[in-house]
């Protein structure tokens, strides 16, 4: 009788154990599904917004777009240099938090494009310093289709587009 009781208890424990394991398995699957759903609902829109903001940033630092935002006709040549560099740095600093959503290699290209643009435009201003005023310098820069910074910006944009296509 004692062994019959132990046999029944053993079977009951085994059944309860199997139910417990199945319950935990399905509960963990539910939490995994909820985690993935949460990522899709929260992280993906933030990541997409980061890509959009960085594409906008790269478009904003293109020389033709920087100069359209600056009132360069009222600036001295030195003020033009400072305004261009300041504008690019402000734009980058404003978007610095987006790096947590973007692959490090792509982020590095974006930062490189920003720094190269500031350097390239600064050098172009120095080269054209013999011009009469800021307006003439800007026109000379915009006529120059061989700016290295434009290539860097386009490469960064291309990498950004490739990355976004991988995730969305």
- Give the domain extent around 68: 44-167
CB contact set of 24 (below 8 Å; sequence gap of 6+): none
Please give the mean pLDDT across all residues of the chain: 87
> Residue 153: what pLDDT?
96
Residue 62 lies in a domain: yes
Residue 14 lies in a domain: no
Tell me the C-alpha distance between 159 and 167, whole Å: 13
Residue 38 lies in a domain: no
Number of domains forming the structure of the chain: 1
Look at 168 and 66; give whichever has higher pLDDT: 66
Q: What is the pTM of this model?
A: 0.74
> Residue 1: what pLDDT?
60
Residue 19 lies in a domain: no
Of 36-45, 67-76, 133-142, the least confident = 36-45
Residue 15 lies in a domain: no
Residue 120 scores a pLDDT above 70: yes
Long-range contacts of 42-50 (CB under 8 A, 24+ apart): 44/167, 44/168, 46/101, 47/101, 47/167, 48/164, 48/168, 50/98, 50/100, 50/101, 50/102
């Amino acid at each position: 009788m004692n062994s019959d009781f132990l046999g029944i208890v053993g079977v009951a424990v085994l059944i309860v154990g199997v139910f417990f394991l199945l319950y935990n398995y399905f509960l963990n699957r539910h939490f995994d599904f909820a985690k993935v759903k949460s990522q899709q609902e929260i992280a993906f829109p933030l990541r997409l917004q980061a890509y959009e903001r960085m594409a906008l940033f790269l478009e904003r630092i293109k020389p033709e777009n920087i100069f359209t935002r600056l009132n360069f006709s009222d600036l001295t040549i030195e003020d033009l240099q400072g305004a261009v560099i300041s504008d690019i740095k402000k734009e980058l600093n404003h978007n610095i938090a987006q790096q947590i959503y973007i692959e490090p290699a792509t982020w590095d290209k974006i930062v490189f494009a920003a720094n190269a643009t500031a350097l390239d435009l600064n050098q172009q201003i120095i080269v054209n310093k013999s011009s009469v005023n800021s307006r003439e310098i800007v026109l000379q820069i915009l006529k120059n289709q061989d700016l290295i910074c434009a290539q860097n910006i386009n490469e960064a944009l291309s990498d950004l587009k490739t990355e976004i296509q991988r995730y969305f």
